[in-house]
Structure 1
Amino acid sequence: MTGGAAGSKDRAYCVDALDALRRLEANRYRRNEAARELERQARRRWTAWSFGVALVLPVLVWAYFLASEAGFAHLHQFPARTAGVLVASVFLLVVGWVAAAGLGSTRLFAGVRDQAARGPRGLHAREVAAADAAARRILAEPTLSEGRIPDRYLSPRMVSMLLRFFDAGQATFLESAVYMLDAELRGSAHYRNLVPAETTASRERERLAGHPTEGGQP
């Protein structure tokens, strides 16, 4: 195989690695977004439950008031009494809502709060499982699993830097591009700062190692 053909193949290898890493990052973003959506839905459900509990006292007050005024014996006092009951109802609603929402952080109401989040949590678990499965498939692709690109460079930014050597005609083989990048990083504090402490691939591998699939296989 000629150097040009090998270089073209190695450049394509880096392009494939870059694509895989970008898909891995997009998949991670979707997983994180699912977690944020779970929190939003659980919060909305708890807010609705708190509001329902807070409505109990105002409804009882209005029921009692309307029952007591059924005959409208004191019709001239009805507007003033209605205004008073309205103010009292708003006060009771606000106090009840704040109290009910605050009780959600206590152990006494922990079960109720968990129940409110059960539906969204089940959906979230399925979304996370799907995202983890997708991450495993991407990490199993040759460009991320063969080790030709060092783990420390398995991030979109670093692979883009490797591609720069091919595009500039400075490298024809992947190994030479890695060597040049190593040398560039050693010789420049600026470029050394570009190396992430944790790469896209290593972060996902670490996460998946802590979340084995059913049956215990990672």
Structure 2
Amino acid sequence: MTYYDQENQFLRQRLQKEIPILTALIQNLYKELDRKFHLNGAKVPVTFGFDTDSLGSYTRRSSHEDEHFHFSLLFIAYGVKNPLSKEERIDLFKHEYAHYMQYNMQIPEKYKWQTGTHGSAWKYCCSLIGAAPTPYYKAGEALMDHNYDKVLKNRIHDKTVPLRDTYQRLQKAQKERNEVVQYKIGDSVTHPKFGNGIVEKINPRSGGVHLHIRFDGEVKCIDQKWLTRRKYI
């Protein structure tokens, strides 16, 4: 056995000693979530390994496998050089619990529109427990850079669900700003392509305001956000 193999074996033995502590941490978290949602996730066995490209997983019961959670000690153990932070560790455990939830609780029909392991049903479960709704946990940038903007574009419409919906609030605010009429009939305006013109008609609409503007004898319908006011007449 080489020196490297001996060191590797020593590390694994040291990490395995942490299994009782990690198991208790996970089960205590799951017991708390079980009480809230009347589930039994804390009773599902938890196994550990030394996976290098996957932090955790949830496996449903089938004819080939028993139901269980699985986590890599190389990421969640305290004895490794760069373990996950406390917040990331808890988020990982919630990530897998959300997978358990989607198969063990009643999901409203309106949250079943997107299929797949990380589809809308799973995202709905994430929103219930405050887990980051990102599909994969792997070593590197994907672990640290959750694109909340992208996933929250697919809005969950149940207002009783506590969502981290910064994206939606910003979009709503921008929409409301776009709907405020900024001109009046007779205003002189400037368009970057058509030049100077006079507002002849104003047509408010959802998400914006259309102006009918005469440019050198030709009337064009243009959203006000593409204009700059030159002066009032």
Length-normalised TM-score, structure 1: 0.19
More helix by percentage: 1
Structure with larger Rg? 1
Select the structure with the greater relative contact order (CA < 8 A; seq sep ≥ 6). 1
Length-normalised TM-score, structure 2: 0.18
More strand by percentage: 2
